[in-house]
Amino acid sequence: MTEMRLNENEKIEMDIHHSKKLPFRLEDWLRSLIFIGLTVAAIASLRSDGILSIGSVFLLVVFFIGILPLYLKWKRLQPLKYLITNERLIIFNETQNKIVRSFSFTQFPAINLHENAYNSGYIILGEVQPAFGRHGLFGTKVGVNLADHEIVLENILEVRKVYDFLKTKIENTHNTK
């Protein structure tokens, strides 16, 4: 991480507004369904076998694989600020006054938009993780993928406008080469 310093001719063109609420994506809904089932099984096991049962193990799994990652994702989002300059996209941590990630428009990763009906959503930078796991027998996809995307701009208000602005900046940079 580096301190927030702009290059000599660099200026901020857009401060991307995002909400600080829990980022809950489609993949999280799928995970939640699985963990609700595990929680019901755990509670049923606790009722019949007592506290030292397989239900206790299920509850620990639900907490560490289901609930804790959502909390940590929310916690990481709180100090972040997304900025677009005339040269790059900056992910900035306001609490630490540090640039977490920076992406020059000349070498920008793949970009994918996910928008909801309320014109908010998120933008994935880099490779998109599939909702379902790796290929199983006979080339079929099996299981829900619990891995998160590497870099996500979360909870962006007016996400289509931000996405189009970013795409234009990237294309203009590549066209001027």
Question: Does residue 118 lie within any of the structural domains?
Answer: yes
Contact of 106 with 97, CB cutoff 8 Å: no
Q: Which residues contact 107 (CB under 8 A, 6 or more apart)?
A: none
Mean pLDDT (the chain, rounded): 80
- Is residue 156 classed as helix, strand or coil in its secondary structure? strand
β-partners of residue 15 are: 83
Question: Does residue 166 lie within any of the structural domains?
Answer: yes
Q: Is the dihedral of CA 128, 131, 136, 138 positive or negative?
A: negative
**Residue 64 DSSP symbol:** I
pLDDT for 152-165, tens place per residue?
A: 898 999 999 999 99
Question: Does residue 132 lie within any of the structural domains?
Answer: yes
Instruction: Domain count for the chain, please give it.
Output: 1
Contact of 83 with 15, CB cutoff 8 Å: yes
Full residue range of the structural domain in which residue 83 is found: 13-175
Res 168: pLDDT = 94
Question: Does residue 102 lie within any of the structural domains?
Answer: yes
| CATH number of domain containing 57 | 2.30.29
Q: Considering only CA atoms, give the Rg of the chain.
A: 20
pTM to 2 decimal places: 0.74
Question: Does residue 131 lie within any of the structural domains?
Answer: yes
Res 148: pLDDT = 60
Question: Does residue 5 lie within any of the structural domains?
Answer: no
pLDDT for 33-70, tens place per residue?
A: 777 877 777 777 777 766 666 767 777 777 777 778 88
Comparing CA positions, the residue from 124, 116, 129 lying closest to residue 163 is 124
Question: Does residue 33 lie within any of the structural domains?
Answer: yes
Q: Within 10 A of 170 (CB to CB), how many other CB atoms are there? A: 19
Question: Does residue 161 lie within any of the structural domains?
Answer: yes
Res 119: pLDDT = 87
